[in-house]
Amino acid sequence: MGFFSIPMARMTGPRGNVICIDVQKKMLGYLGKRAQKAGVSAVMNYRLCSEDSLGIDDLAGTIDFLLLFAVLHEIPNRESLFVQINRALRRGGRVLFAEPEGHVKRNDFDASVAMALRNGFTVAGHPQPIWRSHAILLEKK
């Protein structure tokens, strides 16, 4: 609904590009209206994904930063997700990966991080604590 994407669009400025991906077309429509109202729709790009594809194959090697916030626990094939993200990121591109503590146990979060590391990522850092979340900053090798 734009909680993160609208502020990110403001940060990128008029030359930026924020790609918003959702499995629900209705949610992308709501986001489009909110982005229009916020004056950032010119830098927003909306993509409808499927259960097994983010729909970003055309962006290979072009993405600088990806926010993966409170979403991985909803994805049935996490391994495939990390492969797709790795393909889309440029070398040195980063992923802020966070999951809510209430939905994801620490062991499960750590298993997802290990999966990311097996799929071409390294740990770039540990962000300041995010309220009630497990979080890590990953970087494409």
pLDDT tens readout for residues 98-122: 999 999 999 999 999 999 999 999 9
Quote the pLDDT of residue 36: 97
d(CA 85, CA 121): 10
Do both 27 and 44 map to the same domain?
A: yes
Do both 41 and 74 map to the same domain?
A: no
Quote the pLDDT of residue 46: 97
CATH number (domain holding residue 95): 3.40.50.150
Do both 131 and 70 map to the same domain?
A: yes
pTM value is 0.92
CA distances from residue 28 to 48, 52, 82, 106 in whole angstroms, order as listed: 8, 18, 22, 31
pLDDT tier for residue 1 given thresholds of 50, 70 and 90? confident
- Work out the average pLDDT over 12-23: 94
Order across the sheet with 121-125: list the strands: 63-69, 89-100, 133-140, 121-125
Q: For 31-78, how does the pLDDT look when each residue is reduced to its tens digit (9 = 90+)?
A: 999 999 999 999 999 999 998 899 999 999 999 999 999 998 888 889
Do both 87 and 68 map to the same domain?
A: yes
Do both 70 and 138 map to the same domain?
A: yes
Per-residue pLDDT at 28 exceeds 90: yes
Do both 62 and 119 map to the same domain?
A: yes
Do both 136 and 67 map to the same domain?
A: yes
Do both 64 and 19 map to the same domain?
A: no
Number of domain units in the chain: 2
Quote the pLDDT of residue 114: 97
Do both 43 and 62 map to the same domain?
A: no
Question: Which residues does 81 contact at the CB level (< 8 Å), separation at least 6?
Answer: 54, 72, 75
Do both 69 and 43 map to the same domain?
A: no
Do both 76 and 43 map to the same domain?
A: no
Do both 60 and 43 map to the same domain?
A: no
Domain limits for position 29: 1-48
Q: Do residues 100 and 133 touch, judged by C-beta distance below 8 A?
A: yes
